[in-house]
């Protein structure tokens, strides 16, 4: 388990709520897309997108409102294909909550479009999703998702899916997340499981300490990919 630390190009207050602009962007300019959590959209991702751009990456809004997984994966794929054709570069994907559960296998199946890496934010990869989201808030949310047998089997299978050699999975989880449990997010398949003190489920997209880790992980990803 890793506690939050600041990355070289960023300065944060102790509680992670204030920030200064990046002084030394380290990104290589490649595109990054974020699969939002349930009922979330690009509007909720605005702060994270701004920070990714400041860090030297190309944040690309997905256009997805995550309310129907069947429809959403098709929208996400169409946008990813457009971005790849336009930039000639493979994309790094980040997934928040349900967006992480859906996004991870999606990226594994489309590695011609995506880099072999994935960052989950409060995404319960390690357990059956029904076990991982036992809170009242999560159960109320999932009751609104149109889940048929195919999608149900897909969601159940995420925790047991194999990760190919060379694929880098990182999971970030807040210590006060009351929606998904830490043991559901901390995954044996991940190369790093990161715990961020005092962060709840709805703060992953805005907390500067979370972004400090994202920035560090992305830099490590690109450094190893360049070798």
3-state secondary structure 163-181: CCCCCEEEEEEECCCCCCC
Indicate which CATH number applies to the domain containing 72: 3.40.50.1820
What would the mean pLDDT of 68-89 be, rounded to a whole number? 90
- Element of type H or E holding 118: strand 114-121
Task: Look at residue 13 and tell me if it is in a domain.
Answer: no
Residue 11: band (very low, low, confident or very high) from pLDDT cuts 50, 70, 90: very low
What would the mean pLDDT of 67-91 be, rounded to a whole number? 90
Distances (CA, A) of 137 to 140, 162, 179: 5, 29, 7
Domain count, the chain: 1
Task: Look at residue 58 and tell me if it is in a domain.
Answer: yes
Task: Look at residue 1 and tell me if it is in a domain.
Answer: no
Distance CA 159, CA 139 (A): 19
Q: What are phi and psi of 67, to 5 degrees?
A: -130, -10
- Determine the distance from the C-alpha atom of residue 80 to the mean position of all C-alpha atoms in its chain, rounded to a whole number: 15
Work out the angle between the directed axes of helices 208-226 and 46-54 (0-180°, nearest 10).
50
Residue 180: band (very low, low, confident or very high) from pLDDT cuts 50, 70, 90: confident
Residue, of 81 and 63, whose pLDDT is higher = 81
Please give the angle made by the CA atoms of 33, 205 and 74, to the nearest 5 degrees. Answer: 35
Tokens 């029904």 correspond to: 130
Task: Look at residue 41 and tell me if it is in a domain.
Answer: yes
Tokens 């934010």 correspond to: 121
Task: Look at residue 11 and tell me if it is in a domain.
Answer: no
Task: Look at residue 87 and tell me if it is in a domain.
Answer: yes
Residue 65: band (very low, low, confident or very high) from pLDDT cuts 50, 70, 90: confident
Residue, of 67 and 50, whose pLDDT is higher = 50
What would the mean pLDDT of 67-76 be, rounded to a whole number? 80
Q: Is the pLDDT of residue 172 over 80?
A: yes
Task: Look at residue 142 and tell me if it is in a domain.
Answer: yes
Task: Look at residue 215 and tell me if it is in a domain.
Answer: yes
* Residue 10 CA neighbour count, 13 Å, CB half: 29
Structural domain of 154: 31-226
């Amino acid at each position: 388990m890793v506690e939050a630390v600041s990355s070289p190009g960023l300065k944060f207050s102790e509680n992670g709520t204030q920030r200064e602009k990046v002084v030394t962007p380290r990104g290589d300019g490649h595109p990054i897309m974020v699969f939002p959590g349930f009922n979330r959209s690009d509007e909720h991702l605005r702060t994270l997108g701004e920070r990714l751009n400041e860090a030297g990456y190309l944040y690309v809004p997905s256009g997805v409102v995550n309310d129907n997984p069947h429809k959403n994966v098709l929208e996400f794929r169409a946008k990813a294909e457009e971005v790849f054709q336009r930039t000639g570069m493979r994309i790094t994907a980040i997934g928040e909550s349900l967006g992480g559960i859906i996004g991870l296998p999606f990226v594994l199946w489309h590695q011609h479009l995506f880099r072999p890496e994935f960052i989950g934010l409060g995404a319960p990869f390690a357990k059956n999703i029904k076990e991982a989201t036992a809170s009242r808030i999560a159960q109320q949310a999932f009751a609104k998702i149109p889940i048929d047998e195919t999608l149900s089997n897909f969601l159940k299978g995420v925790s047991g899916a194999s990760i190919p050699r060379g694929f880098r999975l990182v999971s970030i989880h807040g210590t006060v997340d009351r929606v998904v449990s830490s043991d559901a997010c901390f995954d044996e398949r991940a190369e790093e499981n990161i715990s961020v003190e005092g962060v709840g489920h709805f703060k992953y997209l805005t907390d500067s300490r979370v972004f400090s880790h994202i920035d560090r992980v992305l830099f490590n990803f690109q450094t190893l990919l360049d070798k």
